Amino acid sequence: MALWGERIMVALPEYHPLATNEIVYWTDLRGETFLLSQRDPGPELRDILLAKLASPDVQPKIVSHEASRENITSLVGAGVGVSLICEADIGTYYAGVVYRDVQDGHGPSRISYSAYWQRNNDNPALVHFLKLLEERYPSLSPRTAEPFAPSRTPDPSP
């Protein structure tokens, strides 16, 4: 079930030359040192970064840390590099950090969130969680196409 999507933003030191731009294009970020967390959504952002900037001759410089997004953003403020973050994370103020929308020729770059489950999982907590998702995101509910709750195999005993 697709849930929502968020824009990908670049966190820049406030004195960075790109900080004056409203929009930063992926190509503007060539040659930058990217600081990413090894925790979610760091690996997904790394994959997007590689898809946007990697070529057979050029690989972006990525420094991966076993650190929280907050610590990574603090490193950006200290001028150690730049980072990619999800739009929901821009509400927190970090000294010396500005956020800019990252785009390509097709517009803003986005990361999507989805929920997956095994059909044969009859865990009661999963059933309640799926009902919560359906209430929260009714337009995304797959109920019209198939049963929403995990299927149970009928008990053959009388």
45 and 88 together in one domain? yes
pTM (2 decimals)? 0.74
Return per-residue pLDDT of the chain as tens, 158 residues.
777 788 999 999 999 999 999 999 999 999 999 999 988 787 888 998 999 998 888 889 999 999 888 899 999 999 999 999 988 888 888 999 999 999 988 888 888 777 777 778 778 888 788 788 788 777 665 554 344 444 434 444 44
Domain hosting residue 120, numbered range: 115-144
103 and 122 together in one domain? no
95 and 40 together in one domain? yes
77 and 28 together in one domain? yes
CA–CA distances in Å: residue 134 to residues 4, 107, 111, 141, 149: 13, 30, 21, 5, 10
